[in-house]
Structure 1
Amino acid sequence: MSVKVIIECQLRETKSALLDSFLTENVPTVKGFAGCQRVSISFDKSKTTMLIDEDWQSVEHHKNYMQFIDGNGVMQSLTAFMSAPPRILYLKPSEY
């Protein structure tokens, strides 16, 4: 069963050109990772909160990706833009 992953990130400062470059370089890797079905990134009006909205085949697929980016330094680079650790939610589709 697929799972929706919501990652809320509080940024150190408003969205910057450096963050834009980082996302442009790294989002294609997320989209191409085994089990990833969709990725969308949004910002609040002040551009200090980034919301990453993803669909994955399973929680395990997402956790494998998180382990991958933790091991290759991408997660450390991403968290350098944040003022606090990201909040990750795993949501299952409703039957409604």
Structure 2
Amino acid sequence: MEDSHIGFLDRLTYDVDFWMEMCEDLARQHHRMQHLIDYGFDLALFNDIDPCNSAIIRSLNISKTVLLSSEAIMDKIAWDLGKMTTMAEN
């Protein structure tokens, strides 16, 4: 194996490209998730470990969500989920 170093920005770009492509592919697979869509769930519980969870939930047309997290929610995660608030707003 080659010992190589990847810089921070290169790694960030790689991660974004990898996750975006994978999440988009999962969200498009309605034929595999049709049975879940047919249930008409009105609430989804999910964790923040897999960044594709929110994309999958949106593709299932579930509007109410509960984020399960073992740590304080980071601003980036809150922003991605559309629930961004700041301490000044509270």
Name the one with the larger strand percent: 1
TM-score, normalising length from structure 2?
0.29
Return the TM-score normalized by structure 1: 0.28
Which is helix-richer, 1 or 2?
Answer: 2
Higher RCO (CA < 8 A, seq sep 6+): 1
